[in-house]
Structure formats: C-alpha cells, structure tokens
C-alpha cells in the first residue's frame, strides 16, 4: 500500500488548494465519503519519484460552536490515525485562532511526523507573520503559498523523506 499523507486544518486555510497543486490531476480515488469522518478525498501524488496517497480532510460544515469544535477534533484524529505523515495547514494571513489550537492539541499527542505549514505566504517580504505559529508547539513552521507554489517544493522534499 502507498504511504499516506493527511492534510488537516480548519476550513479555508487552503487544504484543497494545496492538495490540488500536488495531486495528479483528476486522480481522486474516493471523491466524497460521508460519515463520522466527514467528506474526504483521496488523491495519488508523486514527488521525487516517491508515490504516495494524499488525503484532503475537507468539508466540515458549520454547526453550533461545540459541534464544530468537536468535528474539527474528529477530523484531526481521523487524519492522524490513517496517515504516515500529517501536514497541518494554518493561515498566515489570519494568524492563529481557537480552531487551529484545537487541531494542534490533537497533533501534539501523536508520535507521527507533523509538518506545520503556514499557507497564503504569497509575498516573501512578509515572513514576520510566520513566527507566531511557534506557539502551537509543533516545531518549525514551513512557509508556503499553495496558490503560487512558493515553498511547496522544499516542504515536499522533507515530507517524502519521512515516508
Ligand atoms: P480549505 O477549506 O482548507 O480546503 O481551503 P481552500 O483550498 O478551499 O482555500 C480557501 C481560500 O483560500 C480560497 O479562496 C483559496 O483560493 C485561498 N487560498 C488558498 N491558498 C492560498 C494561498 O496560498 N494564497 C492566497 N492568497 N490564497 C489562498
Ligand atoms: Mg477544502
């Protein structure tokens, strides 16, 4: 079986944009799987000749606050259980919020490799925004722009080393 990279994070941080940049076009294996783990799509990807499966754990619907927080937790747990490596995406433009902290709380407990990825860093001159993410307790943040591709290559070089 192919190794699995799970992409987790609250809505709108850019998970799907990241996955679509990396996955081979139109290679979604399971487009939508509803249930406890919510919608997730599985994609095939390849970097430096290393093939792997990418899970986009998207599709959380907004409910009341408690339900929303617990679905974020559930999604993060499911990603961690399935994955060999976890890519945790946060939004460099908005900074840390309570939902990021919720996901981070789950991820700090796993012994699997976790990559903390600060997305939407489209402009290399604004790297100051990255430092606050050290507070999440998940090590060095990786700065990327999933929209333009900045930083994604360096990140993937490191990720596939862990597979
Ligand atoms: P998801 O809910 O985590 O899957 O997030 P999406 O991939 O749907 O992205 C949410 C929004 O952020 C969309 O409008 C994207 O175009 C935008 N977005 C994603 N990545 C970037 C980025 O690197 N830079 C900028 N400026 N916008 C981004
Ligand atoms: Mg999405």
Residue 32 pLDDT exceeds 50: no
pTM (whole model) above 0.80: yes
Rounded distance from Cα 45 to ligand 1 centre (Å): 20
Residue 35 pLDDT exceeds 70: no
Yes or no: say if 18 and 87 are a contact pair by the CB < 8 Å rule. yes
42-51, 85-94, 126-135, range with greatest mean pLDDT: 85-94
Virtual CA dihedral for 128, 134, 139, 140, nearest 10 degrees?
Answer: 0
Residue 21 pLDDT exceeds 70: yes
Domains and CATH numbers, the chain: 4-161 (3.40.50.300)
Q: Which residues line ligand 1 (CB under 6 A)?
A: 9, 11-17, 58, 119-120, 122, 145-147
| Residue with the larger pLDDT of the pair 65 and 118 | 118
**pLDDT confidence of residue 64:** 55
């Amino acid at each position: 079986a192919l190794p699995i990279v799970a992409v987790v994070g609250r809505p709108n941080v850019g998970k799907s944009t990241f996955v679509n940049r990396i996955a081979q076009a139109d290679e979604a294996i399971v487009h939508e799987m509803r249930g406890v783990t919510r919608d997730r799509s599985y994609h095939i990807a390849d970097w430096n000749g290393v093939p792997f499966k990418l899970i986009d754990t998207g599709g959380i619907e907004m409910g009341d606050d408690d339900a929303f927080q617990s679905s974020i937790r559930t999604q993060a747990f499911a990603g961690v259980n399935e994955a060999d490596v976890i890519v945790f995406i946060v939004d460099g433009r908005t900074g840390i919020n309570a939902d990021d902290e919720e996901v981070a709380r789950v991820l700090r407990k796993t012994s699997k490799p976790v990559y903390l990825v600060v997305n939407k860093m489209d402009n290399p001159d604004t790297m100051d925004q990255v430092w606050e993410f050290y507070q999440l307790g998940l090590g060095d943040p990786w700065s990327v722009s999933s929209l333009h591709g900045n930083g994604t290559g360096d990140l993937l070089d490191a990720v596939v080393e862990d597979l």
